[in-house]
Amino acid sequence: MMFILLVMFGISAALVFPTISEAQSEQKTFVTHSGGVITTTGEVLDPLYTSATMEFDPMKYLREFNYGKVSQLPDGTTLREFTIIAEDDKIMEISPGVFFNVWTFNGTVPGPTIRATEGDLVRINFINNGSKSHTMHFHGIHPAEMDGVFEIVGPGGGQFTYEFIAGPVGVHPYHCHVMPLEEHIVRGLYGVYIVDPKEGRAEADEMVMVLNGFDTDFDTENNFYAANTIPFYYQHHPIQINTNELIRIYVVNMVEFDPINNLHLHGNLYHYYPTGTDTVPSFYTDMITLSQTERGIMEFEYEYPGKYLFHAHKVEFSEKGWIGIFLVKDDPKQESPNEVDYGT
Ligand SMILES: [Cu+2]
């Protein structure tokens, strides 16, 4: 009854007071779980509601590598320049109906996958357009002043140029290193940095998986877990791969609060290179355990087509979103056009 009265009052108020248009000037933009960007005032009555394309697409992120703006220095060294902008005012729909203030590098969680070859000069033009101080701390080898810890970059347009020689070979995380670190990481200020060996790696269908989680009720426990941010995304949108094709996954665990995470693959085993620093795999397994920022490279091929799960074998995590499916199809390139039909 009270609700009906409130609605009736609201309708009459909307008719009587034209000031509702002032509220519309406070419109906010949200990224929705279903893939749209909506702009709304949040007003129940007379809402302003427009939609556009989603900014973060887990399927696009999966195979997207940013090699930077490439040029050659006089001594022959390859220079790779990247511009990374930090912001802390974006709202993202983490799960249907659950909106969360994420902090972002270049507008997404995780930030862009930065990729270079061992020995390249990496130059990161970092701009902090957030309302808090932020930095970029890369795992890897570099001078102390490039470590993104003591050189705090102030809010509202602060800038810093990180410059270092890419190395060592492997897969490394980068993340903000401003205190309280827990909050700056769990809000989303992290990404993946890949250093390729000069001789390259075998040709493969390559992907990046960042294992992450979100504490949406601020009790220092995660409410949602995922591979690449959106819970259950790759279960609802299976990752299509081919039989007898080498799959290479750069996996990085960024889950905060929980001491361990893990990754189990169904119907197969994978060769695992911890941190990706060695060219010889250390394990042949279907299960690895990772603490925060622990990472590595997985390589495998599927012999049989079909649907295969991959997920945290910490069941709580998989049931809160960290689960996906590989949809394995027969590789059309490997099917002989003159295949003999032996009949029945
Ligand atoms: Cu930060």
Amino acid residing at 2: M
The H or E element that residue 140 is part of is none
CA 152 to ligand 1 center in whole angstroms: 9
Q: Ligand 1 centroid vs 321 CA: distance in angstroms?
A: 25
Cα–ligand 1 centroid distance for 247 (angstroms): 33
Location of structure tokens 């989603």 = 54
Separation of alpha carbons 67 and 116, rounded Å: 6
Give residue 32's pLDDT: 64
Q: Residue 230 Cα, ligand 1 centroid: separation in angstroms?
A: 21
Instruction: Please report, in tens digits, the pLDDT of each residue of the chain (344 residues total).
Output: 444 444 444 444 444 444 444 545 567 776 666 566 667 776 655 555 554 444 689 999 999 999 999 999 999 999 999 999 999 988 888 887 788 889 999 999 999 999 999 999 999 999 999 999 999 999 999 999 999 999 999 999 999 999 999 999 999 999 999 999 999 999 999 999 999 999 999 999 999 999 999 999 999 999 999 999 999 999 999 999 999 999 999 999 999 999 999 999 999 999 999 999 998 999 999 999 999 999 999 999 999 999 999 999 999 999 999 999 999 999 776 555 455 555 54
Position 25 scores a pLDDT of 59
Contact 138, 174 (CB under 8 A): yes
Cβ neighbours of 28 (radius 10 Å) = 12
Expressed in angstroms and rounded, the spacing between residue 163 Cα and the centre of ligand 1 is 19
Please provide the DSSP assignment of 169-215 as one string.
SEEEEEE--PSSHHHHHHTT-EEEEEEE-TT-----EEEEEEEEEE-
CA of 155 to the centre of ligand 1 (A): 10
pLDDT of residue 146: 97
Rounded to the nearest angstrom, the distance between the alpha carbon of 58 and the centre of ligand 1 is 23
Look-up: residue for tokens 């995590």? 317
* 320 phi, psi to nearest 5 deg: -105, 20
**CA-closest candidate to residue 185, choices 177, 195, 193:** 177
DSSP annotation of 323 reads E
- Residue 184 Cα, ligand 1 centroid: separation in angstroms? 4
d(CA 158, ligand 1 centre) in Å: 12
| 21 phi and psi angles, rounded to 5 deg | -65, -25
Q: In whole angstroms, what is the distance from residue 270 CA to residue 50 CA? A: 45
Structure tokens belonging to residue 86: 């930090």
Give dist(CA 102, CA 31) in Å, integer: 11
CA–centroid distance, residue 258 to ligand 1 (Å): 20
d(CA 102, CA 224): 14
- Tell how strand 247-253 and strand 205-214 pair up: parallel
The alpha carbon of 133 and the centre of ligand 1 are apart by a number of angstroms equal to 6
Ligand 1 centre to CA of 194 (Å) is: 21
What's the distance, CA 185 to chain centroid? 12
The span from the CA of 321 to the CA of 340, in Å, is 44
Residue 99 CA to ligand 1 center (angstroms) comes to 20
Q: Residue 178 half-sphere exposure, CB side, CA atoms within 13 Å?
A: 20
State the pLDDT at residue 205.
Answer: 98
pLDDT of residue 93: 81
Residue 32 Cα to ligand 1 middle (Å): 24
- C-alpha 37/C-alpha 42 separation (Å) is 14
For residue 20, the SS3 value is helix
**Ligand 1 center to residue 189 CA distance, Å?**
6
Give the distance, in angstroms, between the CA of residue 69 and the centroid of all CA atoms in the same chain.
Answer: 21
- Residue 240: CB atoms within 10 A of its CB come to 12
What is the whole-number distance in angstroms between the Cα of residue 183 and the centre of ligand 1?
8
Q: What's the gap in Å between 42 CA and the centre of ligand 1?
A: 28
The one-letter amino acid code at 56 reads: F
CA of 308 to the centre of ligand 1 (A): 37
Residue 331 confidence (pLDDT): 73
Pairing mode, strands 69-72 and 49-53: unpaired
Tell me, in angstroms, the distance from the centre of ligand 1 to residue 29's CA.
Answer: 22
H or E element, residue 219: none
Identify the three-state secondary structure at position 33. Answer: coil
Q: How far apart are CA 120 and CA 198, in angstroms?
A: 10
**What is the Cα–Cα distance from 167 to 146, expressed in whole angstroms?**
13
Calculate how far, in angstroms, residue 135's C-alpha sits from the geometric centre of ligand 1. 6
The pLDDT value recorded for residue 342 is: 55
CA of 328 to the centre of ligand 1 (A): 39
The answer to whether residues 117 and 70 touch, using CB atoms and an 8 Å cutoff, is no
- Taking the centre of ligand 1 as the mean of its atom positions, its distance from the CA of residue 150, in whole angstroms, is 13
Dist. CA 167 → ligand 1 center (Å): 24
Q: Tell me how far the alpha carbon of residue 275 lies from the centroid of ligand 1, in angstroms.
A: 24
CA distance 112 to 133: 20
